[in-house]
Amino acid sequence: MRVPAITLNNFTNINQNKKKINQNTYFLHSYINSLSSVYYVPFTSIANSGKLRTLFHYGLPCMYSGIEMIDPKMVTKMLKNNTFRQPASRVIEVLTPYEKSITGTEAKVFEIIKEAAQNSPDKNLHELMQEIAPRFKKRLRKKQNPIFQELTEASHKLPDKYRYKFKQFMENTNKKLNDEPVVVPFSSYEFKYKLEKIKADIEKGEDIKAIKVMDKLIKEANKFTNSTTANTIGRQKNTLSFLYKIFKHSVLKENTALNNLFNTSKSRLNKESTVIPFNRKSFIYDLSKLIQDIPDQQLQEKMISIAQKLPTSKESTSAYILKVLPDSSEKIGYRLLWPSIASVEHIYPKSCGGPDLMYNFGGACCRENTERQNIDFMKQLKRRPQTKENCQKYVDKLIELANSGVFARHNINIKYILDFKNTIYRQSRKTVNLDTSKLNPELLNINNCKKKA
């Protein structure tokens, strides 16, 4: 279960928590946690889930959305083979068999990529995004501008000193929107977070040497002082310089993401102007810090609520394209598949005490798994009313595989199907009783005989 993106509740509860937690720490953790929810695939093994992960190869439907999930092993293979670095026309050929699994904004973007590739078949995904970005940037700005205007109007009620800070904040925001350089203070928290994200991307390629380099960089980055002041900036520059030497003498010296991170960090430590793309989450985080101490809580909540209206990459094709614009072709291709990649779901959430045992496992695509978090299954049924039907689709597919001999071939216990049914029955407070009547009863008899033997 993943941590969700920033929601309004993160900010409306601030005053209640003032006595318990330092505000700056609260906002920092809200921000870092929100970012950690973005695009991560659980390639690491969950204890006792190997048998279920074997079944992902056979196109299991997601127990929540019903879409046919993509096997993580296939995505790993694509990454190892550098599939996404090839010309876009070739990438489209490889991804077409999985097209029915790509849904939502990703499906719309995939269609846009296919159209663009017809005119520029030799360009890679990154180059195609650079080509089509200008027209989508205009569309996004048309959606964003009224929201910024509404926010500016609301800011007129701020106390004088906050109004001035807000004006400066929006001036910097406009520069980011127009790709103009701005001076942004260095943040060791942000640097370490981005380093972790780069490591997560590198781990997908399973290059042992590269992973070791990332481990060393992260270890050394932990020596950064938390705050950047006149007394600490010298040490921070020395730490960054040492990190850069490690990086430049490693197998990752040509890595674009790391090069960008080091160059930007150096500029920020030297208080130089640099081009920083607008980011919705960063905007909301910075706004929340700016107004967190104003006495008018209703105004505080109103302004955050207005900012929350800014289009997200999940709902807006234009926001999606602008978000992935700096990404490598490899990451763009991976992002398209991520929501539909199969993952092991704890029906009774692990964070609530759910066991790492087969009877508590189901198959859910990454997006649904991430969005459910540790929500009670009864609440999940209300959030996703189609869950009942899709759990039945999931069971029907399991039965089809069992009856055709796939379970026997991989030495998977048929009892898993009945266990899944019973777990869903219990977690739904006996409201969802899945039909397993199509399961060949002889298979259960054979399974019981093997057990006795």
Tell me the per-residue pLDDT of 278-313, one tens digit each, with 9 for 90 and over: 999 989 989 999 999 999 999 999 999 999 999 999
CA angle 420, 423, 424 (to 5 degrees): 85
The pLDDT tens digits for 100-113 are 999 999 999 999 99
Residue of 5, 16, 6 lying closest to 297 (CA atoms): 16
The two three-digit tokens of residue 246, written as one number? 């490690």
Angle between helices 104-119 and 125-155 (to 10 degrees): 130
> 362 has which bridge partners?
345
Report the pLDDT averaged over residues 44-53: 76
pLDDT (0 to 100) of residue 95: 97
Is the pLDDT confidence value at 14 over 60?
Answer: no
**pLDDT band at residue 450, thresholds of 50, 70 and 90?**
low
Cβ–Cβ under 8 Å, residues 186 and 236? yes
DSSP assignment of 116-176 equals: HHHH-TTS-HHHHHHHHHHHHHHHHHHHHHHHHHHHHHHHTTS-HHHHHHHHHHHHHHHHH
pLDDT (0 to 100) of residue 443: 83
Which range among 10-24, 42-56, 220-234, 270-284 shows the weakest confidence by mean pLDDT?
10-24
Is the pLDDT confidence value at 336 over 90?
Answer: yes
Instruction: Give the residue with greater pLDDT, 387 vs 205.
Output: 387
pLDDT (0 to 100) of residue 324: 94
The two three-digit tokens of residue 434, written as one number? 């899945």
Is the pLDDT confidence value at 186 over 70?
Answer: yes
pLDDT (0 to 100) of residue 449: 55
pLDDT (0 to 100) of residue 275: 85
pLDDT (0 to 100) of residue 248: 95
Instruction: Give the residue with greater pLDDT, 400 vs 184.
Output: 400
Residue of 305, 303, 311, 12 lying closest to 152 (CA atoms): 303
Q: What is the DSSP letter of 342?
A: E
Average pLDDT over the chain reads 87
pLDDT (0 to 100) of residue 451: 54
Is the pLDDT confidence value at 43 over 80?
Answer: no
The two three-digit tokens of residue 419, written as one number? 């266990």
- The pLDDT > 70 percentage for the chain reads 87
The pLDDT tens digits for 360-385 are 999 999 999 999 989 999 999 999 99
Instruction: Give the residue with greater pLDDT, 35 vs 192.
Output: 192
Report the pLDDT averaged over residues 418-444: 95
Phi, psi of 304 (to 5 degrees): -65, -40
pLDDT (0 to 100) of residue 31: 32
Report the pLDDT averaged over residues 332-337: 96
Q: What one-letter code names the amino acid at 32?
A: I
- The pLDDT > 90 percentage for the chain reads 75
Instruction: Give the residue with greater pLDDT, 397 vs 16.
Output: 397
Domain ranges within the chain, ordered by starting residue: 130-307, 342-452
> 343 has which bridge partners?
364
